[in-house]
Structure 1
Amino acid sequence: MNALLLDDEPLALRSLEHQLKRFEDVKIIGTFSLPVQAVSAAEELQPDVAFVDIDMPEMNGIQVAEKLQMIHESIAIVFVTAYEEYAVKAFELNAVDYVLKPVQPHRLEQTVARLQQETMNRRASVMKEAEEPEPAVRVQCAGTMNVFGHDGEPLSWRTSKSRELFAYLVYKRGQPVRKEVLLELLWPDSDEKKGFTHMYTTIYRLRKTFESASLNIKLLNSGDGYWLSTEGLQVDMQEWEEAIGKLPPLSVESADDYHRLLDDYPGDYLNEQDYIWTHGERQRLRSLCYRQGMQLCRFWASEGQGDKAVDMYEGLQRQYPHSEEIYEALIEHYVNEDHHSLAQQQYELLSGMMRREYDSEPSETAKRLFNSIRPLVD
Structure 2
Amino acid sequence: MRAILVDDEQLALDYLEGLLNKIGNIEVIGTFIDPFEAKKNILEEKPEIVFLDIELPEINGIELAEQIQQSLPHIHIVFITGFNDYAVKAFELNAIDYVVKPVQMRRLHETIRRFQVSRAAITHQSDPVSRICAFQSLSFTCTDETTEILNVKWRTSKARGIFTFLLQHRNEYISKDDLLELFWPEVDREKGMMQLYSTIYQIRKTLSSIHFEIEITSQANGYQLKLNNVKFDVEEWENGLRENPIVNDETLPVHQRLLNVYQGDYLSQEDYLWAENERERLRILWFQHLTKVADYFTGKGEYAEAISLYLRMQMEAPYIDHSYFKLMQLYSEVRNFHAVEQQYVQLKKMLLEEYGVKPKASIQTWYTNWLKNVAFEDV
210, 214, 219: which one pairs with 1:215? 210
259, 266, 270: which one pairs with 1:269? 266
Counterparts of 2:325 and 2:127 in 1: how far apart (Å)? Answer: 51
> Residues 64-111 of structure 1: CA distance to partner in whole angstroms, max 9, x if unpaired?
3223323323333333444542435666998643341xx45xx25642
Counterparts of 1:2 and 1:230 in 2: how far apart (Å)? Answer: 30
Correspondence list, 1:142-221, <5 A: 142-145=135-138, 164-165=161-162, 167-173=164-170, 177-189=174-186, 215-216=210-211
Instruction: Say if 2:354 is the partner of 1:354.
Output: no
Counterparts of 2:37 and 2:154 in 1: how far apart (Å)? Answer: 41
Instruction: Say if 2:133 is the partner of 1:133.
Output: no
Correspondence list, 1:1-378, <5 A: 1-17=1-17, 20=20, 22=22, 24-85=24-85, 86-88=87-89, 96-100=97-101, 103-104=102-103, 107-108=104-105, 110-111=107-108, 114-115=111-112, 118-119=115-116, 121-122=118-119, 125=122, 128-129=123-124, 132-133=125-126, 141-145=134-138, 164-165=161-162, 167-173=164-170, 177-189=174-186, 215-216=210-211, 222=218, 230=227, 240-247=237-244, 249-333=246-330, 346-377=343-374
Counterparts of 1:20 and 1:158 in 2: how far apart (Å)? Answer: 28
Residue identity matched to 1:255:
L
Counterparts of 1:159 and 1:21 in 2: how far apart (Å)? Answer: 34
Instruction: Pick closer, same or farther for the CA change 1:207–1:280 going to 2, 3 Å.
Output: same
Residue identity matched to 2:65:
A
- Could you tell me which runs of 5 or more consecutive residues in structure 1 were left unpaired when the two chains were aligned: none
Instruction: Pick closer, same or farther for the CA change 1:189–1:36 going to 2, 3 Å.
Output: closer
- Percent identity (aligned): 30
Equivalent residues of 1:219, 1:226 under 8 A apart: no
Bigger shift: 241-250 or 63-72?
A: 241-250
**How far has the Cα of 1:38 moved from its partner?**
2.1
**How far has the Cα of 1:289 moved from its partner?**
2.0
Instruction: Pick closer, same or farther for the CA change 1:353–1:67 going to 2, 3 Å.
Output: closer
Bigger shift: 358-367 or 218-227?
A: 218-227
Residue identity matched to 2:2:
N
Counterparts of 1:359 and 1:179 in 2: how far apart (Å)? Answer: 44
Counterparts of 1:343 and 1:93 in 2: how far apart (Å)? Answer: 57
Counterparts of 1:18 and 1:124 in 2: how far apart (Å)? Answer: 28
Equivalent residues of 2:215, 2:227 under 8 A apart: no
SS in 2 for 1:270: coil
Structure-1-length-normalised TM-score = 0.72
Equivalent residues of 2:136, 2:265 under 8 A apart: yes
> Residues 167-206 of structure 1: CA distance to partner in whole angstroms, max 9, x if unpaired?
4455445766555444443454555577667767777887
Instruction: Pick closer, same or farther for the CA change 1:155–1:12 going to 2, 3 Å.
Output: closer
Bigger shift: 254-263 or 111-120?
A: 111-120
SS in 2 for 1:286: helix
> Residues 102-157 of structure 1: CA distance to partner in whole angstroms, max 9, x if unpaired?
x45xx2564266336525643662xx21xx33766676644444567998686687
Structure-2-length-normalised TM-score = 0.72
Instruction: Pick closer, same or farther for the CA change 1:148–1:91 going to 2, 3 Å.
Output: farther
Q: How many residues are paired up? A: 368
RMSD: 4.5
- Could you tell me which runs of 5 or more consecutive residues in structure 2 were left unpaired when the two chains were aligned: none
Instruction: Pick closer, same or farther for the CA change 1:95–1:298 going to 2, 3 Å.
Output: closer
SS in 2 for 1:375: helix
